[in-house]
Chains A and B, each alone.
Chain A
Amino acid sequence: GAVVSQHPSWVICKSGTSVKIECRSLDFQATTMFWYRQFPKQSLMLMATSNEGSKATYEQGVEKDKFLINHASLTLSTLTVTSAHPEDSSFYICSARDHGTDTQYFGPGTRLTVL
């Protein structure tokens, strides 16, 4: 199946710093990518829908100024957690929509720990 990568796989940062997470579709072009976060022992919660060349669409309750999303190319979307705080610690997972198979493929996730 299609491959989606995320970088880094894990990151530890100090409170107040910003962290950028990359999501890449390796063998297909993705006009639409999605960002999720998953708290321990919980399901995935959609944060935002990222569309290539346009602004992201954020879900209710997600601060767009805190979670900056950029989808500058058909294979790359980035999520920047600005001024991170301990409560932002979570598992962040991206997915990319393969229009050819009409299926979303998920990245392996990035574990963010804010100290």
Chain B
Amino acid sequence: AQSVTQLDSQVPVFEEAPVELRCNYSSSVSVYLFWYVQYPNQGLQLLLKYLSGSTLVESINGFEAEFNKSQTSFHLRKPSVHISDTAEYFCAVSEAGGYQKVTFGTGTKLQVIP
């Protein structure tokens, strides 16, 4: 079984400042890792994913995350946030291949302050 820990429930940050949302996972097998974003009263949108290959993955809106197997982490970063980035961010893990049952972290609410 897999588990995900998002240590920060809320992260306030000023507009145009950098941000890092932390995510650590636990698994005894190879995993896929995901970051999803949820805007108020909406479903989840896939932000980026790591399946294999390069450990640094990027999204189209400037976010990036790096898979660190030794530290079992998949932290999400953005060098300069915008007001529109205010949302809840969920880190998730699934067993590589197979049924892909996804386990979610408890979420981190990113609040961008103007």
Contacts and interface: CB of A to CB of B under 8 A. Distances in A.
Q: Is this pair of chains taken from one and the same complex?
A: yes
B51 A102 contact: yes
B104 interface: yes
B104 A106 contact: no
A79 interface: no
Interface string A67-94: 0000000000000000000000000010
B105 A43 contact: yes
Interface residues of A, number: 21
B86 to A, nearest CB: 15
Interface in B25-81: 32, 34, 36, 41-46, 49, 51
A43 B102 contact: no
A97 interface: yes
A102 B97 contact: yes
Interface in A28-47: 32, 34, 42-44, 46
A49 B99 contact: yes
A104 B43 contact: no
A17 interface: no
A102 B100 contact: yes
